[in-house]
Structure 1
Amino acid sequence: MWKTIGQTKAITLIEGSIKTDSLAHAYLLVGPEHIGKTTLALDLARALNCQGDKKPCNQCQSCTKISNGKHADIMILSLDSPDIPEDDKERTKIGIKKIHYLQNSASLPPYEGKLKTFIIDGTEYLSNEAANCLLKTLEEPPPRVLILLLASDESQLLPTVVSRCQRLELTP
Structure 2
Amino acid sequence: MVPPEQLLAYIAQLSLKRIPGVGPKSLERLQNAGYYLGQDIQAAELGRLQQLLGEKAGWLLQQRCNGIDPRPVVTERSRKSVGCEETLRHDFQHLRQVEQFLDDVLLPQLKKRLGQARWQDTHIKSQTVKLKFSDFQQTTVSRTAKTVSPSLFYQLVREASERRNQRSVRLVGLSVALPDPDEQLQLELALD
Q: The TM-score by the shorter chain falls in which range?
A: under 0.3
Q: TM-score, normalised by structure 2?
A: 0.22
Q: Which has the larger radius of gyration?
A: 2
Q: TM-score, normalised by structure 1?
A: 0.23
